[in-house]
Amino acid sequence: MFSQIFNYDNPIWSFIGKFCDLLILNILWILLSIPVVTAGAATTAVYYVTLKLVRDEEGPTIRSFFRSFKENFRQATLLWLILLAVGCLLAFDLYFFFYILKEPSLLRTAMIAIFGGFSLLYSFISLYVFPLQARFYNPIRRTLFNALIMSVRHLLFTLGMLAVDGFFLFAALFVLPVFMPLLILFGFPLIAFINSFVLVRIFDRYMPKESPSTAAP
């Protein structure tokens, strides 16, 4: 009995080990996201590890994180800067039409609807970009295009991930204090880990059956 309990292949130990990995990833992600400009590479590295954790392909967590961080640094950083610039522009546009241009008009309503739609597509793309960068090798334009196509093609999965992520953050901040320690200890890597269960199912559809590949179709 005791040999089974202390067997490292035991599902309980595997579960505990994964959460230890998420704790380590959270520390690394915070430290390497502080410069802001490196947040994209750090996020890609987190997804590189969590996608492996979901597949039970665990390796040295710290080594895997930094290998992905180094290999994807340039492209992940460019993707992050593009998303950051577009996100700031959308946020300014929505702020302008909601809080500055307050006079009711058809133009105001139409612009809010248009930029609201763009913001939804932006959230779709942002959800897939860094996992795609972690899993496949493609040019920046192709990665952004694949993120958009996959998010729309697998719309129910996309909406499900957004709903779960949004609920988790909302509950941790405003509703259920029990979620707050989880957010503090495991932070974004926990969300990435949850998303990875869905993303693995989606990405597997784009992998050749004969042999592994590093390029998405």
pLDDT, tens digit (0-9, with 9 covering 90-100), for 37-53:
999 999 999 999 999 99
Measure the CA–CA gap between 114 and 120, rounded to whole angstroms: 10
Of the pLDDT bands very low, low, confident and very high (cuts 50, 70, 90), residue 177 is low
Q: How far apart are CA 94 and CA 183, in angstroms?
A: 28
Residue 217's pLDDT band, with cuts at 50, 70 and 90, is: very low
- Sign, Cα dihedral of 203, 204, 209, 210: positive
* Number of structural domains the chain divides into: 1
Give the C-alpha separation, 190 to 179, whole Å.
11
pTM: 0.86
Range of the domain at 73: 2-204
- Report if residue 181 sits inside a domain: yes
In a domain, 216, yes or no: no
Residue 211 lies in a domain: no
In a domain, 215, yes or no: no
For 108-134, the pLDDT digits (tens) are 888 888 988 999 999 999 999 999 999
Over 70: is that where the pLDDT of 89 sits? yes
Q: How confident is the model over 169-191, as a mean pLDDT?
A: 78
25 or 17, greater pLDDT: 25
